[in-house]
Amino acid sequence: MDSADVYKNYFSVFRDIIREMHSHKDIDDVLSMGVRKTAGVLQAQGAAVQLFDQSSQKFELRAAWGMDECYFSNGLETSKRLQQLVHKNEKSHFIRDIHNASELTSAQQAWDAGIRLILELPLALDTQVLGVMRIFLTKERQFSNDELDFVLTVSEQFACVVGRVQCIEIIEAQYDHLAKYTEKMSSLGRMAAGIAHEINNPLAGILLYSSNLIKKVPDMSPLKEGLDIIMSETTRCKGIIQGLLEFARDREPEKVVTDINLIVKKSLQILKNEFHIRHIIVEQDLGDSMLVFLDENQIEQVLVNIFLNAIQAIDKNGTISIKTSTNNKRDELKIEISDSGCGIDNNQIDKIFDPFFSTKAKGTGLGLAVSYGIINNHQGNIRVDSQPGQGTSFTITLPLLSQVAEKQDRRF
């Protein structure tokens, strides 16, 4: 074959791979076709692609042509070795001493099958190793620069398509999670509203009758203690129902123009005694006056919920810091509340905004669910970061007044 034919071959294989990549086919189809054509054009015995699977932390064989599965090592060693190659910016690696190749799980079998040279190409985006392509040859030979250029370009295209597909998979998984979460929240909301209404009236009746009874029972009566318990437990149930109604009500915020720092100060004032009794230091770093358009009562409720959780996480002797700031574009306000409390376990952090999730003996698990709904209704965002044993930090973002005004202008 003269060099013009060789180039024509490279070009046609490359064109096939690109066409396959853009035809939205399954990633395995793209890889299978790619390894078959690449092996063909290089007159190799076979070729294969393994991709790194995050959940199993192993290299899984995804496409192979001309070679048996037993030649592909997938252990931790492979991962470390490829990582080192990528860090050293080595885009290709030849395995020439097949007999003693520690890179292979079945070196002897590869030798017996006639393999004398293996070309390895890590599939990487920046420094992240996504997988590896291997080309198996039956003759020990040198690769020309053109050949190497060709396989490198193929491997780079593979890395791009794998990266893109993984990115889409992550977005789809997040979207699914969000869709399920929203569905769960709305059906829970409807159910909660129904239950809360049904229970609220009988509870009021129990409270009324027990408080009447307790007035008639002498202090020394053995009935007193029981009645006290009935009253305190019924009051607790009313609190839970109140929270449920709040959660289910989903009312539109009654917005006014106000300064966020005033709401922060008011919320801190409400809990002033609690901070004092528990020796909790409150550090404030409030930015210049920041005008917002929001429901003061609702945002105050959110802040009090978060402060109360922080107080409970600290219990005694600790620090809560609160910072308000705007972003560079001055279209968004940020409220950061951090505490030096017990922190949240990694396996619980995804659940804390779920209604009724609570790790406290007397918790309702509604504080953060309600807060999440309120911030959402204000076109804002609430996020949590936590280090178990060290502390937790909540970040709320809300649109600033100019941004709100602009959005409303656009609507009319």
Ligand X SMILES: Nc1ncnc2c1ncn2[C@@H]1O[C@H](COP(=O)(O)OP(=O)(O)O)[C@@H](O)[C@H]1O
Binding residues vs ligand X (CB under 6 A): 305, 309-310, 313, 339, 341-344, 352, 357-360, 363-369, 392
Q: 210 is written with which tokens?
A: 């027990």
| Cβ distance to ligand X smaller for residue 107 or 368 | 368
Helical spans, DSSP H, in 45-89: 76-87
Which partner in ligand X, Mg ion, none is near 313 (CB below 5 to 8 A by kind)? ligand X
Residue with tokens 């931790």: 76
Q: How far is CA 193 from the centre of its chain?
A: 30
Helical spans, DSSP H, in 217-251: 223-249
| Cβ distance to ligand X smaller for residue 217 or 268 | 268
Task: Name the minimum Å distance from CB 385 to ligand X.
Answer: 11
Which partner in ligand X, Mg ion, none is near 373 (CB below 5 to 8 A by kind)? none
* Other residues' Cβ atoms within 10 Å of the Cβ of residue 190: 12
Q: Are 286 and 351 in contact (CB under 8 A)?
A: no
Which partner in ligand X, Mg ion, none is near 360 (CB below 5 to 8 A by kind)? ligand X
Task: Name the minimum Å distance from CB 352 to ligand X.
Answer: 4
Residue 371 as a binder of Mg ion (CB under 5 A): the answer is no
| Cβ distance to Mg ion smaller for residue 143 or 356 | 356
| Cβ distance to ligand X smaller for residue 365 or 380 | 365
Q: Could you tell me which residues come within 8 angstroms of residue 89 by beta carbon, excluding any fewer than 6 positions away?
A: none
The strands making up 58-65's β-sheet, listed across from edge to edge, are: 58-65, 46-53, 128-137, 117-125, 93-95
| Cβ distance to ligand X smaller for residue 220 or 361 | 361
Helical spans, DSSP H, in 72-144: 76-87, 107-112
Which partner in ligand X, Mg ion, none is near 301 (CB below 5 to 8 A by kind)? none
Segment interacting with Mg ion (CB under 5 A) among 72-80, 285-293, 366-374, 383-391: 366-374
| Distance, CA of 279 to CA of 397 (rounded, Å) | 29
Task: Name the minimum Å distance from CB 353 to Mg ion.
Answer: 11
| Distance, CA of 352 to CA of 358 (rounded, Å) | 7
Name the residue with the smallest CB distance to Mg ion. 367
Which one of 32, 309, 324, 371 is in contact with Mg ion (CB under 5 A)? Answer: 309
| Cβ distance to ligand X smaller for residue 166 or 359 | 359
| Cβ distance to ligand X smaller for residue 36 or 334 | 334
Which partner in ligand X, Mg ion, none is near 46 (CB below 5 to 8 A by kind)? none
| Distance, CA of 287 to CA of 325 (rounded, Å) | 5
Task: Name the minimum Å distance from CB 346 to ligand X.
Answer: 12
Per DSSP, 71 falls in state G
Task: Name the minimum Å distance from CB 376 to ligand X.
Answer: 15
CA-based torsion, 178, 182, 183, 185: positive or negative:
positive
The strands making up 332-339's β-sheet, listed across from edge to edge, are: 280-286, 318-326, 332-339, 391-399, 381-387
Which partner in ligand X, Mg ion, none is near 161 (CB below 5 to 8 A by kind)? none
Which partner in Mg ion, ligand X, none is near 364 (CB below 5 to 8 A by kind)? ligand X
| Cβ distance to ligand X smaller for residue 133 or 299 | 299
Which partner in Mg ion, ligand X, none is near 401 (CB below 5 to 8 A by kind)? none
Helix axes 145-216, 3-22, angle to 10 degrees: 20
Q: 398 is written with which tokens?
A: 């809300």
Q: Please report, to the nearest 10 degrees, the dihedral formed by the alpha carbons of residues 129, 22, 61, 104 taken in order.
A: -60
Question: What is the Cα gyration radius of the chain?
Answer: 32
Task: Name the minimum Å distance from CB 70 to Mg ion.
Answer: 56
Task: Name the minimum Å distance from CB 363 to Mg ion.
Answer: 6
Which one of 34, 318, 355, 367 is in contact with Mg ion (CB under 5 A)? Answer: 367
| Cβ distance to ligand X smaller for residue 4 or 361 | 361
Task: Give residues in contact with Mg ion (CB under 5 A).
Answer: 309, 367
